[in-house]
Amino acid sequence: MQEEPEVTPEAPEEKPPVTPTVKPGLIITRTRYPKWWKELQTAAISLSTTGTQEVVPTRSGNNVFIATIVLVVSGETNIVMDFGVFGPTGVMNFGGENEPRGMLMAMGESPASCGEGGFSVSSTGENIVVGGFVSYYLEPV
């Protein structure tokens, strides 16, 4: 006796999944940040008396994005950082009694924009050394 082959029912055709649509008013626009694979640049912070240092000069046709700031001081001083077209920070006290002697600001996924302006550091400390570095990206406008 010969066995009959087993008959399997045909599976119904599967429809492709429906792709949801998003209304244009619900789409969040994002701030343009530089692509991380572009070249990272660094610039030294080096002040030895009262004054202002233009750490990252204005680059016409480029937006400047500050990614990291490392700063140390040798004594009591007040520091102000200027982020180009977005303006200066408030006064930050360093080096005095119960005050920090430095700082590290790593801005990772959200670098601080200076627009088409540069980045500068000012110190009020006479004969006080302010040192460190800034890492930054340039992106053509």
For 98-112, the pLDDT digits (tens) are 999 999 999 877 889
pLDDT at residue 119 is higher than 80: yes
Q: What is the pLDDT of residues 57-103, one digit of tens each?
A: 998 898 999 999 999 999 999 999 999 999 999 999 999 999 999 99
Annotate the chain with three-state secondary structure: CCCCCCCCCCCCCCCCCCCCCCCHHHCCCCCCCCCCCCCCEEEEEEECCCEEEEEECCCCCEEEEEEEEEEEECCCEEEEEEEHHHCECCCEEECCCCCCCEEEEECCCCCEEEECCCEEEEECCCCCCEEEEEEEEEEEC
Highest mean predicted confidence (pLDDT) among 1-5, 57-61, 118-122: 118-122
Q: What domains can you pick out in the chain, each with its CATH number?
A: 40-140 (2.60.120)
